[in-house]
Amino acid sequence: MGVGGRSVVSQRFTTTSPESLTSAAILGEKTVGIAHTVGVRFADPIPDRKKAQAAITVSSDPQMRGAFYWISDSEVRWRPERFWTPGTKVSVAVNIYGVDLGDGLYGDENLSYDFTIGRAQEIVADDNTKTIVVKRDGKVIRTMPTSFGKDSTPTPRGIYMIGDRVEHIIMDSSTYGVPVESAAGYRTPVQWAVQMSYSGIYMHGAPWSMSAQGSSNVSNGCPNLSPTDAEWLVKNTLRGDPVTVKNTNADTLPGVDGLGDWNIPWPQWKNGNADT
């Protein structure tokens, strides 16, 4: 009995605490290149990857076959078997609200994203010719001399996807695990840069290496360009444009680097890694 002789009924409720909620973000822009992959980045590592995948739908017109692959504990990608067809319309829905993503971690809200595949543009960076060639809809529209990574820091081979395109950036080796004060360290302001990897590879303006561009490799790993060519590249590329680097004296860019999805063979990609 409670105060005043009234009955008091005690009930116990279980609620989801703020500490057990996670959010998601969809990576992309409204118009993207033919190699763009759908990226969903969670704010926390996901214990049950299969449940997370089941909450994500990707549809397209025309329809494309695709599959999920996790590039980290908190980021999953959906990739078609081959490059998109220009003009394809794609819709992504992440319906995680209230979904237990494992170990009591719940999604806090749903989100969606629609995008369109732009023109068919492909870039080939060839160490044999020391050039970067841009093709749009099958026709060469620009050829640019370049300098790749020197022998001690060669530029990885493989297929890259373009990420951010920026007018100004500080290239800081400590961001990628190399102390600035070390012999191989650097912290250099750069103008006009096109991101090729999460590990710090950019095609960028490098006026200091113009005498080597087209003839020798002197960079720390990034393909160097003249400021004029780098500016043109920033203004004439889309997120998701493919860049193929070939004939360098280096291993292939890892498929889980962040922009190297296409370096994972399709049979491996389609089998997924949600159980690992």
Give DSSP secondary structure letters for 52-71.
Answer: HHHTEEEEEES---EEEEES
Q: Show the beta-strand stretches assigned E in the chain.
A: 21-22, 24-27, 31-32, 38-42, 56-61, 66-70, 75-80, 89-94, 106-107, 111-117, 121-126, 131-136, 139-145, 158-161, 165-172, 187-195, 202-205, 224-225, 242-246
- Residue 256 burial by Cβ neighbours in a 10 Å radius (0-12, 13-18, 19+): middle
**Is 222 in the active site?**
yes
Strand partners, 79: 67
Annotated catalytic residue, options 36, 77, 165, 204: 204
The whole-angstrom separation of Cα 40 and Cα 60 is: 17
Q: How many residues does the chain have?
A: 276
**Is 204 in the active site?**
yes
Annotated catalytic residue, options 190, 222, 253, 264: 222
Which of the residues are catalytic? 204, 222
